[in-house]
Every structure is written in C-alpha cells, then in structure tokens.
Amino acid sequence: MRTTNLTVVLRYVRAHAPCSRADIAASTGLNKATVSSLVTDLLERRLLRETGLVANRIGRPATMLTLESRPYAAVGIEVAADHMTAVAIDLAGERLLSWRRASPLTGPPGKAVAAVAALAGRVVGKVTGQGRQILGLTVAVPGLVAADDTVRFAPHVGWPELDLRAQLVKALRRPAYDVAVDNDANLAALAEQRDGGYADIPDLVHLLGGVGVGAGIIVEGRPLRGGHGRAGQIGHLQLDPGGPECGCGRRGCLDAYVGLPALVRRALPDTAADGPVVDYAPEIERIVALAGAGDATVTGALAEAGARLGHAVATLLDLLDPRVVLLGGSFAPLAPWLLPAVEAEVGARVTTPDAGRIAVSTLGPGAAAVGGAARALDRVEAGHLPALP
Ligand SMILES: [Zn+2]
C-alpha cells in the first residue's frame, strides 16, 4: 500500500512539477499528513527534491517539489542490423548521452552479445563516473522476444533462439541493476507514450522503419504483446503475392517494399555496384538529398514505398483503431515524401471517416533505445524503487 502511494506521488510530480505537497494532496485524494510522510521518503531516496518557495493561492509560501534528476540514470541500447544506438536518460527523461555505432551485427551471436555488452559497459562506466546509480538497462532487439526475455526470432541480425538477457548479465558480471530485453518497436512505442509528441494518447501505433518494419502497439494505455509476443510483427504482411521476393522466402511482403534494403535498391540503383550496404545512415542521407533536389527515380521510389506503407497503415487503422499512427525510425527522415502517398492510400482504403491520423514521430533515430531507458523509469514508477541510502 505504501509503495503504491509512493508511486502515485512520484507519477504526480513527474506530470505536474513543480508542485507543492498541498497540490499533491488535493489532486490524489491522499491526506496531507500521508503526503508529507511519502514526500519525506521520496526525498530520502533522492527521487524528489525541493526547489524553493512559491506563494500559493492564498499568499502563504509553499515549498515546491520536482523530480531529482542527478543521482540516477537509465540506459537503453537499440540493436539494428547495421548499427547500435545507446541512450542514457535521467529520472526526468533528459538525455545524458546518445551514441550511435555503425556496427553490423550479422556475425555469430556470441560476437554480437560481446559487442552489445561492451557498448553497455562503456555507457554504464560513463554515467556511473558522473556519480549516478543505474536504475536499469534494456536492450531493444529487431525481432520476436518472449515474455522471459528470450529472443525467439531475429532474422535481420541472423540470431537463432538466444537467451540474450542471461548472456548479457553474465558478460556484465551480474550487475546490481535490472537487465531486460524487448522488441524494438514495442520500446519505441513506450518512448512515444512517455516522452514523444503524442504522449498520453492511450491508443497509438509506432511504425518503426529499418531493415525490417515493426509495429509497436499501445491499446488503452498498455502495450499489446499478444499470446506469444508476436503482436505488431507486420513486416511479413503480404501485400501482393506476385510482388518482389522477400527475405522470408515469400513474395510481396511489406518488408520487401519498404525495408531499407528494398528501398535503397529502388531509390539508389547504383548502390549495388559498391557491394553490400553495411551502414544505411549515409544511404538515407543520400536519398533525402536527392529527393530534396527532385530526383525522379528517388521520388518515384518513395511514392511507391509510401503507397505500400499506406496499405499496411490502413490495415492497422481498421484492425486496431488507434488515434494516431506514427512513422518512426528510417521512415521519419523520409516522411516528407512518404507521407502524401501514405495518406492517399489510406484515404482510398479506410472506409470510416473518423479513422486515426498519421503523423511523424518526433523522437528521431534511436527511439527504441530511448524506450529501453524509459522502461527502467516505468519500473521505478511501478514500485521498484531504489533502496534508501
Ligand atoms: Zn516476408
């Protein structure tokens, strides 16, 4: 009961800071003595701090409270086929660091685990060097992750079934903080819900573009995972049985139209001559530059990809009825050219006049890493409070 009340106060302060003890009591229904005692506890755990006096409505000065951002950090690492992104945030959600490493992870899983652990170790070393305690580390994976954090299927990084969490815990020498693994699109949706431009919308979908496509789905404020963690695995939604070949062996899947390998092949046909692409970031920059200059091959490829993406978005709108579908990951920088075609296709396919809108994620690249870090903050707010010093 007390832990629950502590989290009620913590969540209230996150949403309304700076605020006074009286504000908390008035809005949460907890009595003033209880709030005072809970606030003292949270001050001692260094989760809140006092910011000074402000005159309240009746002119009496009240001490204002805000989240204490200095003592803690949460870490997220996003693993993609061609790169890793690491993000550390403080309790208030401010970014402490954001690193990107071009790093093809398609070799043997043991090597990939070592690379993820090495990056995690460097981030942890950096923020603990600033005197911060780590609240948790979550690794975002482009694939199917079971409820026990086992990676079941991650074809874009070529992993077999892999107990990534256990291997990371071992590589990081059994750290005191919580280590977790989750699907990248689920974590991007979590970041969207917590800190994105559409925070607090209870029904949303984050479509995470990359080498493959995933959908992170929030329904009534909660992530939708499905019976096996498979919800949102939209990359192999078959749009046309006569379409181009897909990595899964079938034809015409969404990935085969809008995944980065397909998109780069169509928009930049000369790229194939340079051998396999190991990092897609420079290719995306080239596509953006050429599209901005009106290159017909590039804008044509983006319009076609947008139409295919629109087909998938229309399916999501009909099936899940979200308020908003956000284009994230590699779709975000390409959105000026994708979005008109997505909207036209959705308009032609969705039958209801009041379907959810389509927008561009404001989180930028690394949304899944931000979500990974945010997951640790969610855990704190769910009652896994750091111990009293
Ligand atoms: Zn496929």
The pLDDT score that the predictor gives to residue 331 is 97
Ligand 1 centre to CA of 70 (Å) is 46
- From the CA of 189, how far away is ligand 1's center (Å)? 23
Residue 350 CA, distance from chain mean position? 27
pLDDT single digits (tens) 113-163: 899 999 999 999 999 999 999 999 999 999 888 888 888 878 778 788 889
Residue 226 Cα to ligand 1 midpoint, Å, equals 20
CA of 211 to the centre of ligand 1 (A): 12
Distance 248 CA to ligand 1 centre (A): 4
**288 CA → ligand 1 middle, Å:** 26
Pairing of strands 204-209, 214-219: antiparallel
In tens, the pLDDT along 70-84 reads: 999 999 999 998 889
pLDDT for 264 equals 95
Q: What is the mean pLDDT of residues 341-366?
A: 91
Q: How far is the CA of 80 from the centre of ligand 1 (A)?
A: 18
CA of 34 to the centre of ligand 1 (A): 56
CA nearest to 62, candidates 45, 46, 48, 50: 50
Q: Which two tokens stand for residue 305?
A: 């990809």
Structure confidence at residue 153 (pLDDT):
79
Dump pLDDT digits (tens) for 214-238: 999 999 999 999 988 889 999 999 9
Mean pLDDT of 83-106: 89
CA of 319 to the centre of ligand 1 (A): 20
Distance 179 CA to ligand 1 centre (A): 31
Tokens representing 113 are 């685990």
Predicted pLDDT at 58: 67
Question: Residue 286 C-alpha to ligand 1 middle, in angstroms?
Answer: 26
Q: Which tokens hold the place of 339?
A: 């979005």
State in Å: Cα 236 to ligand 1 middle. 4
DSSP single-letter state for residue 245: B
**How far, CA to CA in Å, does 82 sit from each of 260, 308, 349?**
11, 24, 34
| CA 280/CA 260 separation, integer angstroms | 7
Q: Which residue has the higher pLDDT, 83 or 274?
A: 83
Comparing 196 with 178, the larger pLDDT belongs to 178
DSSP result, 261-293: HHHHHHH-GGGGGG-S-S-SHHHHHHHHHHHHT
Would the pLDDT of 335 be above 90?
A: yes
Asked whether residue 47 carries a pLDDT value surpassing 90, the answer given is yes
pLDDT of residue 106: 67
The enclosing H or E element of 347 equals helix 331-349
Neighbours of 145 (CB within 10 A): 28
313 C-alpha vs ligand 1 centroid, how far in Å?
A: 17
Q: How far is the CA of 383 from the centre of ligand 1 (A)?
A: 40
Of 168, 147, 145, the closest CA to residue 157 belongs to 145
CB 124 within 8 A of CB 132: no
Distance 46 CA to ligand 1 centre (A): 49
Per-residue confidence band for 303, with pLDDT thresholds at 50, 70 and 90? very high
Mean pLDDT of 8-36: 94
Q: If you average pLDDT over every residue of the chain, what do you get?
A: 92
Cα 284 → chain centroid = 20
